[in-house]
Every structure is written in structure tokens, then in C-alpha cells.
């Protein structure tokens, strides 16, 4: 699929790592080194499309036709009056007045401490911007004037918006591994070449190039716009938010006939079956036909086991 070349950041969605956001990406690279035994480099700076007449190659992505394959049954839509909330992960975090690093904000006026593994009720649905969720608390926190603002998405285990937090843990670990292979890990706002976006109103449709390879692949699962548009239409998705991306990736897995293997991926034979089935969509998976660099099955299985073990 859309392939972010060779650099991957270790991560687990929804289970917060014990690092502040200022060092989250660096710690993730360190985790990757420990898992793979390979050195990791910082992502290259995004590059614009060549304008010197150099011949470019556009990334391609297979889109399976809609079919009757079984897939994950998402919970039914919420009714009017359903409670809105977010649940923090395993580390303490902050509600911030803006999306700056928390270390630059004043406690009590610029940020409020949030306890780990705690459910907070909010007014209205959570929003998404860049690598943060945006919320308004129903009740003020003791000793803090901040009632609305930003929370680093990595530090959130679940929200009432749904998405990956609603999936079985084996499926979540598989999606984590897929994102690791694609080089996006926990970043729902990545564009090919590690460029980023803030607005989740729709697919960014920004084409970037690295060498002679050009793509508008975006999001955690690196959807090409040509893949996203029909999926979003079929699923009725109105935005490109993380929950919408999670629903779309599960639809790709279903259409490709891989859901049963993904659901049982804690068993190695099922894991390899799922990866082999899906390598016609994602170019980073071993055996992919797109001629781009791929991971080994062994490295992906090792990552999957680590990801799975981090879920309750």
C-alpha cells in the first residue's frame, strides 16, 4: 500500500506509555530498537513533488470490491442523550489550554492534571486535532481553572467517539502491528514522508514524494484518496477522524476476507495467514507485490506479541 519508507516508531494505541508527550516519539524509537535489534533514524523532512522533470512513480493500493465476507460488528450508533466521556490510559496526563507541550504551560491556569485510568465526563462529543483530542469537562477539576482544551491522544485509552478501543484486543494488536509496518504507529495525522496535518475534516489529499515515489497516503493506515473515497462513501463516513480511520481499515480487512484470521491472530498460523492475505493492500507487509521495502514476518510477529501483551 501506501508505504512510508523504512522508519517505524514503536507504539501502542490507547495504552499510554509512561513518557510525557515531549519525549514520546524518541522513546518510541528506543522501543523499536529494543524490539528489532536494528538502529532507527529520525524521519526525513517531508519533500515536495519533484519539479525537474524527473519521472515519478505513484504509489498504488488494491481496493477489494464490496462483498459478503464477515467482519467486525461495530456497536450500534449512540442515541440522543448518550453520555460523552474519555478514559485516560496508564499514565497521568494533562488537560491543556492549547496544543503546546505541557512542560511549557503553567499548572492551574495553562494545564490541569488528569489521573491515569480514570473516566471523565464531558459536554459534547470529543473532537480531534492533530495528535490531540479536544474536550470540555462537565465538572471543573479541583484547584484548576481549565475546563476545556487539549489532551495528548497517546494518553487516552478510549473515548465515547469509539474506534479502535471497541475492538477485541487481538484485533487492536494486529492494527498496531500494521501501523508499525507502515511507519505510522500511533499517528493518525501522518502523510507520506512523515508530513502531518491537524484538520480531520476529510482526507488531506496532499501528495508528497520521497525519491521518485509519490503518494497522498494519509492517516494511521496510509489510505490513498482513491481508496478512501469509495470506502467513506460506502460506510457513510463524514470525516477522517481516528474513529473513522479505524472503521475504514476494518472494512478493508473484511472485504479482503481476512477478518477471521485477524480476530484469531494471537495464534501464529492465523497471524501469518492474515498478513499474507493483506499484503495485496499494504506494501510494507512481507510478500507484497508492489516492489517496495517490506518487513519480515518474524519482525512483525515479535512486534505483535509485544503489542498484545500491553493490553489488559
pLDDT for position 140: 94
Specify the range with the lowest mean pLDDT, choosing from 151-155, 165-169, 212-216.
212-216
CATH fold for the domain made of 84-159: SH3 type barrels. (2.30.30)
Enter the C-alpha cell of residue 308: 498484545
Scan for cell 510525557, then name that residue. 20
Active site residues: 182
* Alpha carbon 275 to its chain's center: 18
| Summary mean pLDDT of the chain | 86
How far apart are alpha carbons 61 and 81 in whole angstroms?
Answer: 40
Residue 39: its pLDDT value, please?
32
User: Residue 2 region, left (φ>0) first, then alpha (ψ -120 to 50), else beta?
Assistant: beta
Considering the segment(s) 21-75+166-309 as one domain, its CATH architecture is Orthogonal Bundle (1.10)
pLDDT digits (tens, 9 = 90+) for 281-307: 999 999 999 988 999 999 999 999 999
**Is pLDDT of 3 > 60?**
no
Task: Please indicate, yes or no, whether the overall pTM of this predicted structure exceeds 0.85.
Answer: no
pLDDT digits (tens, 9 = 90+) for 139-148: 999 999 999 9
Q: Which residue has the higher pLDDT, 10 or 311?
A: 311
CA distance linking residue 289 with residue 292, whole number of Å: 8
Mean pLDDT of the region 111-134: 97
Phi, psi of 94 (to 5 degrees): -135, 145
Residue spans of the domains in the chain: they are: 21-75+166-309, 84-159
Give the per-residue pLDDT at 54: 52
Tell me what pLDDT residue 19 has: 40
* Long-range Cβ contact pairs of 143-147 (< 8 A, separation 24 or more): 143/108, 144/95, 144/107, 144/108, 144/112, 144/113, 145/108, 145/109, 146/95, 146/96, 146/97, 146/108, 146/109, 146/110, 146/111, 146/112
pLDDT tens track for 39-65? 333 344 334 444 445 557 888 899 999
Q: Please give the Cα distance from 47 to 186 (Å, whole number).
A: 22
Amino acid at each position: 500500500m501506501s508505504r512510508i519508507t523504512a522508519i517505524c516508531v514503536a507504539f501502542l494505541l490507547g495504552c499510554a506509555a509512561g513518557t510525557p508527550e515531549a519525549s514520546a516519539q524518541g522513546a518510541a524509537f528506543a522501543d523499536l530498537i529494543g524490539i528489532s535489534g536494528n538502529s532507527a533514524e529520525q524521519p526525513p523532512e517531508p519533500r515536495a513533488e519533484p519539479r525537474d522533470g524527473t519521472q515519478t512513480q505513484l504509489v498504488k493500493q488494491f481496493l477489494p470490491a464490496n462483498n459478503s465476507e464477515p467482519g467486525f460488528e461495530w456497536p450500534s450508533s449512540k442515541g440522543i442523550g448518550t453520555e460523552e466521556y474519555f478514559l485516560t490510559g496508564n499514565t497521568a496526563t494533562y488537560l491543556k489550554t492549547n496544543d503546546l507541550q505541557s512542560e511549557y504551560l503553567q499548572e492551574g491556569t495553562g494545564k490541569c492534571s488528569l489521573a491515569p485510568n480514570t473516566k471523565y465526563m464531558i459536554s459534547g462529543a470529543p473532537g480531534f486535532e492533530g495528535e490531540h483530542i479536544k474536550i470540555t469537562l462537565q465538572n471543573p477539576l479541583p484547584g484548576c481553572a481549565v475546563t476545556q482544551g487539549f489532551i495528548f491522544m497517546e494518553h487516552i485509552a478510549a473515548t465515547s467517539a469509539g474506534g479502535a478501543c471497541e475492538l477485541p484486543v487481538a484485533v487492536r494488536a494486529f492494527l498496531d502491528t500494521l501501523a508499525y509496518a507502515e511507519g505510522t504507529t500511533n499517528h493518525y495525522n501522518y502523510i507520506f514522508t512523515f508530513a502531518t496535518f491537524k484538520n480531520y475534516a476529510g482526507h488531506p489529499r496532499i501528495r508528497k514524494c520521497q525519491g521518485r515515489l509519490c503518494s497522498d497516503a494519509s492517516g494511521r493506515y496510509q489510505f490513498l484518496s482513491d481508496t478512501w473515497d469509495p470506502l467513506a462513501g460506502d460506510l457513510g463516513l463524514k470525516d477522517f477522524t481516528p474513529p473513522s480511520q479505524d472503521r475504514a481499515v476494518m472494512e478493508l480487512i473484511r472485504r479482503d476476507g481476512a477478518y477471521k484470521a485477524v480476530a484469531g491472530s494471537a495464534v501464529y498460523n492465523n497471524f501469518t495467514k492474515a498478513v499474507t492475505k493483506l499484503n495485496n493492500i499494504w506494501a510494507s507487509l512481507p510478500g507484497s507485490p508492489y516492489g517496495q521495502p517490506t518487513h519480515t514476518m518474524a519482525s512483525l510477529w515479535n512486534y505483535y506479541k509485544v503489542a498484545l501483551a500491553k493490553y489488559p
